[in-house]
Amino acid sequence: MKRLGKYFQGYKVRTVTAPLFKCLEACLELLVPLVVAGMIDHGIREGDSAYVLKMAGVLLLLAVIGLVCSITAQYFAARVAIHVGTGLRRDLFQKILSLGYAEIDESGTSTLITRMTSDINQVQNGINMFLRLFMRSPFIVFGAMAMAFTVDGKAAILFAVTIPVLSIIVFSVMLCSMPLYKKVQRQLDRVVLMTRENLLGARVIRAFNRQSQEQEEFQREQDRLAAFQVFVGKISALLNPLTYIVVNLAVMGLLYTGGIRVDAGSLTQGQVVALVNYMLQILAELMKLADLIILMTKASACLSRVNAVFELESEQQKAVGLKEESNLAGDWQRQEGSNAKKGFLEFDDVSFIYPGSQSASLSHLTFSAEKGQTIGIIGGTGSGKTTLINLIPRFYDVRQGEIRIDGVPIWQMDVAALRAMIGVVPQNPVLFQGTLRDNLKWGKKDAEDAKLKEALQIAQAAEFVEQKKEGLDLRIEQNGRNLSGGQKQRLTIARALVKEPQILILDDASSALDYATDAALRKSLNEQNKERLVFLVSQRVSAVRYADQILVLEEGALAGVGTHESLLAECGVYREICQSQLGEEVSKDGR
Ligand SMILES: Nc1ncnc2c1ncn2[C@@H]1O[C@H](COP(=O)(O)OP(=O)(O)OP(=O)(O)O)[C@@H](O)[C@H]1O
């Protein structure tokens, strides 16, 4: 709730005005039974049709003013709710962007999407209804009771008994249903997760003809969600019959005692009708209050889910107490005066376990590299290649051992400054909707077209871009779906090159390229890499064999470090990989 407070800043007047107008509307509603009583007792009983018409006019006026109050209140409540929802969504989005891979892995993308969308909508809805009803409903309940006392004190005693009974019923039902709403929301997360996976994997699902299995699984999750909702619905459904029984009993009591007292002349017919009206008003308002509380319960469950994301540690928060050292980061040159070697990166006994994982994905890695070098990383699937390179830009933070750049542990560096030094080309190329120029400029906002074209040239992408008549204005569809896998890979390499990074990381970035293009790409990259440290992850020996240093990974550990020749001579794992790929060639010449 504390967090929510700041979003009401600048909207305080509207926040107060909405409930006040609702209270004004309630005041007018409380007058209606008195006016009707007057019509019956004076107008109808005495046959005074002018009085009846006058009172009808008063009723109409009350209705019109009430309507204006209601519309005004709803307008202000909606404005406040939308303002709060928008602010919350903006800040949550910013928070999600600030989270590290580990936190995103831990929460799960689907639940983050649900929190950004349906949870915040629920909070927004809750605020809207809260502003409209939180004062109005109690105001009517107590106001109607007070008015009943002014009509007839004795009869109103029935109200004093009925209201607590109704309140107990309403609140008991709510207490039972509240925890269940959290369950419903969790199950909704699962349904969203399944939907997302299915949409992302639509082609694979079709290729494997798994539509019916997926449909069944989805149906199971849906049924579970429906079962939770039906269960909560059943409990909530008890509310109406129970409250109506109590109210109808109270109305019967009112009519019975009222009838006797009308006969005795101590009460008028109009007063009995007014009392019944007040009783019905109380019932209607208690029902609204119950709905409001249920809505608020859902909204508060959703708000705590949103808050849970805000409470996750962002990457910046993790880097605590490191301000002075962070100034050291930025680029190779800023270490002048220190004894550390420039352009030097070292892994010192680094081990890494993914959060929630049982076993280490990397164990005791120690190696060093310097600018101008190309470091090849090779190993079987799941041997830890991607994990290793993900540690350099601090996508995950190392807890055991240390990674240093120019002698400064990277955990002491400002994350943004560290990443500014690094260009990453991920395994799965990701492009964003927009033009090719927009995408390439991600690395450097002010890059000239000539620079972009140069990067495309090095990445072996210039030719196919030239073939498209739009050139740099080529429209990239969502996820780059109008491009082939190899084209996307080359564009992501070009994007990283535009950044002119001091460390370039290519994670299996040429896997979709044919051998000739791959070789041409490596050749042109080599010519550019004099001032740069390049990490080249690949499953292909041909891609890493000319690297200055090759790291051979096996089950997260270094099985060997060296050049192609030295590893062939000394590292059994590397020899095996070479033999499996280069076959005869390796065996014959022993290289
Ligand atoms: N986000 C994650 N959470 C938990 N475990 C993970 C995660 N990512 C990878 N792993 C595990 O860490 C190990 C190393 O994975 P990694 O992706 O680094 O391998 P890799 O050598 O890059 O494989 P490939 O060549 O298939 O891409 C694997 O056992 C994998 O199951």
Question: Would you say 174 and 243 are in contact if contact means Cβ atoms under 8 Å apart?
Answer: no
**At a CB cut-off of 8 Å and minimum separation 6, what does 25 contact?**
66, 69, 70, 73, 136
Q: Which of 374, 524, 372 is nearest to 463 (CA)?
A: 524
Cα(556) to centroid(ligand 1), Å: 9
d(CA 164, CA 154): 17
Predicted confidence (pLDDT) at residue 363 exceeds the cutoff of 70 = yes
Give the pLDDT score at 340: 58
Give the pLDDT score at 1: 62
Ligand 1 touching residue 383 (CB < 6 A): yes
Average the pLDDT over 527-544 and give the result.
Answer: 84
Between strands 503-507 and 422-425, the pairing is parallel
Residue closest via CA to ligand 1's atom 17 equals 386
Q: Which amino acid is at 351?
A: S
Give the pLDDT score at 139: 92
Ligand 1 touching residue 357 (CB < 6 A): yes
Cα(388) to centroid(ligand 1), Å: 10
Ligand 1 touching residue 137 (CB < 6 A): no
* Terminal Cα-to-Cα distance of the chain (whole angstroms): 68
Please tell me whether residue 357 adopts helix, strand or coil conformation: coil
Residue closest via CA to ligand 1's atom 18 equals 384
Q: Which amino acid is at 518?
A: D
Q: Which amino acid is at 253?
A: G
pLDDT, tens only, 457-506: 888 888 888 888 888 888 888 778 888 888 888 899 999 999 888 999 99
Residue closest via CA to ligand 1's atom 5 equals 354
Predicted confidence (pLDDT) at residue 591 exceeds the cutoff of 70 = no
Q: Which of 507, 497, 485, 503 is nearest to 451 (CA)?
A: 497
Host H or E run for residue 374: strand 374-379
Cα(379) to centroid(ligand 1), Å: 12
Pick from 32-36, 327-331, 504-508 the range whose average pLDDT is largest.
32-36
Alpha carbon 36 to chain centroid, angstroms: 53
Ligand 1 touching residue 386 (CB < 6 A): yes
Q: Which two tokens stand for residue 292?
A: 């409001």
Give 119 or 584, the one with higher predicted confidence: 119
Give 577 or 581, the one with higher predicted confidence: 577
Q: Any idea which residue has 């006040």 for tokens?
A: 20
DSSP bridge pairs for 476: 434
Cα(382) to centroid(ligand 1), Å: 5
Predicted confidence (pLDDT) at residue 328 exceeds the cutoff of 50 = no
d(CA 194, CA 173): 32
Give the pLDDT score at 209: 79
Question: Would you say 295 and 124 are in contact if contact means Cβ atoms under 8 Å apart?
Answer: no
Task: Indicate which atom in ligand 1 lies nearest the CA of residue 390.
Answer: 18
Please tell me whether residue 393 adopts helix, strand or coil conformation: coil
Binned at pLDDT 50, 70 and 90, residue 368 comes out as very high
Between strands 434-435 and 422-425, the pairing is unpaired
- Mean pLDDT score of the chain: 85
Question: Would you say 111 and 117 are in contact if contact means Cβ atoms under 8 Å apart?
Answer: no
Cα(559) to centroid(ligand 1), Å: 17
Residue to probe by mutation, ligand 1, list 103, 351, 383, most atoms within 8 Å of CB: 383
Question: Would you say 520 and 446 are in contact if contact means Cβ atoms under 8 Å apart?
Answer: no
- Sheet of 533-537: strands edge to edge? 422-425, 503-507, 533-537, 374-379, 549-554, 557-562
Between strands 475-476 and 434-435, the pairing is antiparallel
φ/ψ of 385, rounded to 5, equals -65, -50
Give the pLDDT score at 315: 67
pLDDT, tens only, 196-242: 788 877 777 877 778 888 889 999 999 999 998 898 888 878 888 88
Residue closest via CA to ligand 1's atom 28 equals 382
Ligand 1 touching residue 381 (CB < 6 A): yes
Cα(170) to centroid(ligand 1), Å: 52
d(CA 245, CA 242): 5
Task: Indicate which atom in ligand 1 lies nearest the CA of residue 427.
Answer: 27
Predicted confidence (pLDDT) at residue 334 exceeds the cutoff of 60 = no
Cα(405) to centroid(ligand 1), Å: 24
Give the pLDDT score at 431: 87
Cα(460) to centroid(ligand 1), Å: 29
Average the pLDDT over 130-151 and give the result.
Answer: 90
The CA–CA distances, whole Å, from 201 to 117, 204, 219, 428 equal 22, 5, 18, 14
Residue closest via CA to ligand 1's atom 4 equals 354
What domains, with CATH codes, occur in the chain? 2-312 (1.20.1560.10), 330-414+539-591 (3.40.50.300)
Question: Would you say 352 and 398 are in contact if contact means Cβ atoms under 8 Å apart?
Answer: yes
pLDDT, tens only, 160-169: 888 889 888 8
Please tell me whether residue 435 adopts helix, strand or coil conformation: strand
Ligand 1 touching residue 490 (CB < 6 A): no
